Amino acid sequence: VAKEVKVISKKAGSDEAYEWVSDGANGYTIEPAIKEGHGTTVILSLKEDDDTERYSQYLDSNQISDLVKKYSDFIRYPIKMDVEVERMIESTKDQEVPEYETVKENKTLNSMVPLWKRPKSEITKEEFDQFYKEHFYDYSDPMKTIFFNVEGNVSFTALLYIPSHVPTGFYSQDYKPGLQLYSRGVFIMDHCEELLPDYLRFVKGLVDSQDLSLNISREMLQQNHQLRIIRNRIEKKVLNELSSMLVKDRKEYETFWKNFGLDLKFGVYNNFGQDKDKLENLLLFNSTKDGQLTTLSEYVDRMKEDQKPIYYVTGSSLELMEKLPIVKKLESKGFEVLLFNAEVDEFVVQTLMEYREHPFQNASQGDLDLDSEEEKKELEEKTQSNQSLLDFMKETLKGEVEDVRLSSRLVDDPVTLVAGNGMSFEMEKVYAALSAQNGNAGMPPMKATRILEINPNNGIFAKLQNSYESDPEKAKEITKVLYDQALLIEGFPIQDPIEYSRLVCTLLSD
């Protein structure tokens, strides 16, 4: 902002003073000078205003005060300035309308002693909360305050906050994560993203380190070894605090999870799962066990003695997932089922693969091997005796399903749709949504392999058997209706709703 800078300096105890002058382009000069007392005076001669910059704004006392407050509020010595203030004239105070005069007052602009430089024992919760609301522009007290000091190869102080609610615009592109960065009390940067892993982007606060250079650039920050050490210590500290909250205050942790659990899930599968071991014990999922949120550890501790997989189903509604035929089957066998209602859940378990040597098993996919040897033998006999009917149904649904088979995973329901090995139904929906968002709606959809399973113990199967023998056309209609019903149960649209409605009415009128 300056066209010329002068620095007049005189050493304590010396009679000689010197003046350093530079325009920033043609080197500098040093000449003897006259100065009262010792110390240094810096004089900036500002450039003239032009079309691109209004340099005269830096002569405004309010602007200077704001700049000092922002960058040097916590410098440990006072920064003073003569400012103009309105003061009532004492002799007019008894008048109906007192008179005022403009006077200059020498005012200290900075607060000097930062909150985080005081001993923790001397800071009240109210002071921590107030600091958070003033400096991070929130109307609510934080959920958690984390204040700690580290001394060693890299020394720093960190004052961190976990908000009590999701910040405005948190999931928009305009949201800026990161911590405020200070060096010896001097403000360097407002949103230093290098201090936090992406999955902790909800953490607000500041870091003050005496080991960082005051003129460090963003490019230097990205390569700075000291900053990586600070980041690792902060990450470890926050995760420890969350683990402690989970154990000591479950209700508070569940509130935190509701706000920011999605970010921890993102951390599991981001960067090829390199952080999954740090986060797996912090994850919460809905469960058929009393309708409560559960950790993976709690689920495994409650498992049946002979249970190997961790069973889960996916969907958008907890209420509907609890009604899924396969959930009824698993509960009838005494198994607890995790209910995944977030799109990212499938990515999470595919990254984790297993927990404490128990693999994750999508209950709507693959062979669950739930039945006893007697039940398996009975199903095999029924399959053999009805093979021609199953082949007939498969031919009727040609191009829609890979196979039609009798089901071992149904209790009361007549039909269900099962995904073959590979992609699950939920992943099919996720890829379809991503394709639509990216403008690839015309591209061939990625589809899971579909297998239609029929309950041989349901009355509709007996009706299907009779129709197959006496009226094959009616058997085709029943097959199509059952397939459409299976699609609806899994949350898929049916291809021809009008035809489906007509077939249902026809069958009901028989």
pLDDT tens digits for 162-192?
999 999 899 998 899 999 999 888 888 899 9
Buried b (16+ CB within 10 A) or exposed e, 450-477: bbbbbbbbbebbebbeebbeeeeebbbb
- As a whole number, mean pLDDT of residues 34-44 equals 95
pLDDT of residue 444: 66
Residue 217 lies in a domain: yes
pLDDT of residue 219: 65
Q: Is-contact 52 22, C-beta < 8 A?
A: no
| Residue 249 sits in the same domain as residue 219 | yes
Confidence of residue 217 (pLDDT cuts 50, 70, 90): low
d(CA 491, CA 489): 5
| Residue 359 sits in the same domain as residue 372 | no
Q: Report whether pLDDT(443) > 70.
A: no
Helix (H) or strand (E) holding 20: strand 17-22
Query: Based on the number of CB atoms within 10 Å of its own CB, is 493 exposed (0-12), middle (13-18) or buried (19 or more)?
Result: exposed
Residue 66 lies in a domain: no
Name the residue type at position 349. V
The encoded tokens of residue 390 equal 């199953």
Q: Is-contact 45 4, C-beta < 8 A?
A: yes
- How many angstroms separate the Cα of 232 from the Cα of each of 148, 218, 220, 277? 14, 19, 18, 15
| Residue 139 sits in the same domain as residue 185 | yes
pLDDT digits (tens, 9 = 90+) for 236-291: 999 999 999 999 999 999 999 999 999 999 999 998 899 999 999 999 999 999 88
Name the residue type at position 391. D
pLDDT of residue 441: 55
First to last CA, the chain: 89
d(CA 30, CA 17): 10
pLDDT of residue 218: 63
pLDDT digits (tens, 9 = 90+) for 322-339: 988 899 999 999 999 999
| Residue 145 sits in the same domain as residue 213 | yes
Among 44, 59, 74, the domain-final residue is 59
User: Please, what is the Cα angle at 304 between 301 and 307, to 5 degrees?
Assistant: 100
pLDDT digits (tens, 9 = 90+) for 8-28: 999 999 999 999 999 999 899
d(CA 184, CA 44): 25
Size of the chain, expressed as the number of residues it contains: 510
Q: Report whether pLDDT(343) > 90.
A: no
Compute the CA torsion angle 336, 342, 346, 352 (nearest 10 deg): -70
- How many angstroms separate the Cα of 220 from the Cα of each of 205, 214, 259, 402? 21, 12, 33, 57
**Poorest-pLDDT segment among 63-72, 324-333, 423-432, 448-457:** 423-432
pLDDT of residue 287: 95
CB atoms within 10 A of CB 208: 24
| Residue 353 sits in the same domain as residue 465 | no
Residue 104 lies in a domain: no
| Residue 127 sits in the same domain as residue 189 | yes
| Residue 290 sits in the same domain as residue 392 | no
pLDDT digits (tens, 9 = 90+) for 134-150: 889 899 999 999 999 99
**Stronger pLDDT, 509 or 51, i.e. the higher one:** 51
Confidence of residue 408 (pLDDT cuts 50, 70, 90): confident
Q: What is the CATH number of the domain that holds 214?
A: 3.30.230.80
| Residue 289 sits in the same domain as residue 231 | no
Residue 472 lies in a domain: yes
Q: What is the CATH number of the domain that holds 344?
A: 3.40.50.11260
Whole-number CA gyration radius for the chain: 35
Residue 492 lies in a domain: yes
Domain that holds residue 303: 284-363
Among 363, 398, 423, the domain-final residue is 363
pLDDT of residue 435: 74
Looking at residue 444, what DSSP letter applies? Answer: P
Residue 130 lies in a domain: yes
- As a whole number, mean pLDDT of residues 430-441 equals 71
Confidence of residue 509 (pLDDT cuts 50, 70, 90): confident
Task: Look up the pTM and report it.
Answer: 0.77
d(CA 7, CA 21): 7
Q: In Å, how far from its chain's centre is CA 208?
A: 25
Q: What is the CATH number of the domain that holds 389?
A: 1.20.120.790
Q: Report whether pLDDT(85) > 60.
A: yes
Q: Report whether pLDDT(395) > 80.
A: yes
Phi-psi region of 178 (alpha: psi -120 to 50; beta: other; left: phi over 0): left
Confidence of residue 72 (pLDDT cuts 50, 70, 90): confident
Q: Whole-number mean pLDDT of the chain?
A: 91
| Residue 339 sits in the same domain as residue 376 | no
Among 363, 398, 419, the domain-final residue is 363
Phi-psi region of 274 (alpha: psi -120 to 50; beta: other; left: phi over 0): alpha
Number of domains in the chain: 4
